[in-house]
Amino acid sequence: MVMRLMSIRMRDALILATLLVPLHSAWALYKIISPSGEVTFTDVPPAIPGQLAQRVDTTAAGDEGPVLPFTLKRLVRERPVLLYTTPHCPACEDGVKLLRTRGVPYTEKTVSDATDLATFRADHPRVDHLPLLSIGGVTLTPGFDPEVWNQALSTAGYPENSALPPHYKFAAPTHLAPPASRPAQKAPTPHHGQDLQPPVLPPSNPNAPPGFQF
């Protein structure tokens, strides 16, 4: 009876020790490649000679996307956030800052040249300035309005405070026009005192939110 009781206590101690292992160790994942080429994944550090091992970063974007909390992952799938921006646009930068501070995963498409602009015009012929935010396929009024953006994000279900995992990396912005439609162009040679970028103009409507006007 005494031996059985000690055995139960030892078992409970082992379970408790397992639960007390730091949580970050559960995120350690290794890709093991055997000499025959067989690939397996394990959370146990490799120790067999002849095996190739790679530690997999589970906090960054991978083949299946970044590791997100379940609720946030569902929102990204069902109500994705799409942001249209253009270079040298302070209002666009403010919009990006709002999304990142709030911890909203988003896709950013830039309208940076004539090819991007033609693509944008085909989909949004009446929009004359950026940024432009779309949540779950619903497009907001052009321009940056933090109150409207925050209210729309909350209505869509996005948390008011960031729930992103540590070391989450936001995706870099990409051109709106697909690469196949982009003609090869030589970069122009700048002249002294010449500004190669188009000027940033205020919206034609004084009551419109601030942004970049085409």
Domains and CATH numbers, the chain: 21-56 (no CATH), 70-179+199-213 (3.40.30.10)
CB 96, CB 83: distance < 8 Å: yes
Query: For tokens 């253009």, what's the residue?
Result: 86
- Separation of first and last alpha carbons in the chain: 85
H or E stretch at 132: strand 132-135
How many Å separate Cα 197 from the centre of its chain?
28
Q: What is the mean pLDDT of residues 11-34?
A: 45
Mean pLDDT of 71-89: 95
How far apart are alpha carbons 210 and 201 in whole angstroms?
10
139-155: per-residue pLDDT in tens? 999 999 999 999 999 99
Q: What is the pTM of this model?
A: 0.60
Q: What is the pLDDT of residues 166-206, one digit of tens each?
A: 889 999 999 999 887 666 655 444 444 433 343 343 444 55
Task: Return d(Cα 78, Cα 70) in angstroms, integer.
Answer: 12
Task: Compare 196 and 39 and report the one with higher pLDDT.
Answer: 39
Q: What does the pLDDT read at residue 63?
A: 40
Residue 22 predicted with pLDDT over 80: no
Q: State residue 51's pLDDT score.
A: 64
% of the chain surpassing 90 pLDDT? 49
Q: Dump pLDDT digits (tens) for 91-136.
A: 999 999 999 999 999 999 999 999 999 999 999 999 999 999 999 9
User: How does the average pLDDT of the chain come out, rounded?
Assistant: 74
